Structure formats: C-alpha cells, structure tokens
Amino acid sequence: MKCQFVHQNFNVLDLAKSIAFYETNLGLKVEKRHQAADGSFELVFMGDGATGFQLELTWLRDWKEPYNLGDNEIHLAVRVPDMDAARAFHREQGVICFENEAMGIYFIADPDGYWIEIVR
C-alpha cells in the first residue's frame, strides 16, 4: 500500500493570531475553512501553494487553557531556499526559540508554543 501525506493538525487558542503567524513567518496561505454549524469549532487549512501538504489549524470554542505540548519533540519541518535570509527575518520577528548551528537548523515557535524546524 502506498500513501501520501495530506496534513498536520495544530490546535490553537487564537485562530486569527495563528493565521497571521503562519502567513508572516512561513508564507502559508489559507486554502480552505470549515466552521461547525453550531460555532463549536473551526478548521483552517493553510498551504504553501507548491506541495499540496497543508497545516490544519483547529480552534475549539470551549477550549480556554494552553495545550499540553509535552516536551515539544513533535514538530513540523519546512525547507527554506535561503537559510541566512530566513534566520535574519525570524530573528527580527523574535520567533526563534532554539538554534543548532552544528546541524545547520533552527526552530521557531508559534503563538501556542508549537515548534517549526527550519532546514535548508
């Protein structure tokens, strides 16, 4: 059997803030939205316009506490064409949370604390 990756889900507390973060820091765009008829949840699918892979942001109306992300060992990774320019931009934005110079990677954190690995 062969499968294909479709999306990764992150649950978020402030949907507008999360959308703005991913648009600004990764260049993702909203590709699809779904809101429950009763307003209890909203799903926003963001994509890079190239791969078909999407990040699903899930907002739950009744959820008020920060999500437990454990040790944050689970993360999303994205490739950038110019690592130096990306790192300089992310430093300016104040979103870098960890750098591993030896491996040539760094991580940024979104408004809910999810880490996104930046690779060449």
**Per-residue tens of pLDDT for the chain, all 120 residues:** 999 999 999 999 999 999 999 999 999 999 999 999 999 999 999 999 999 999 999 999 999 999 999 988 889 999 999 999 999 999 999 999 999 999 999 999 999 999 999 999
In angstroms, rounded to a whole number, what is the distance separating the alpha carbons of residues 14 and 58? 10
Interstrand relation of 54-60 and 76-79 (parallel, antiparallel or unpaired): unpaired
Domain boundaries, the chain: 7-62+73-119
Q: Which of 64, 1, 20, 15 is nearest to 44 (CA)?
A: 15
Q: Is it true that domain 7-62+73-119 has CATH number 2.40.30.10?
A: no
Q: How far is the C-alpha of 44 from the C-alpha of 86, rounded, in Å? A: 25
pLDDT for the residue 71: 87
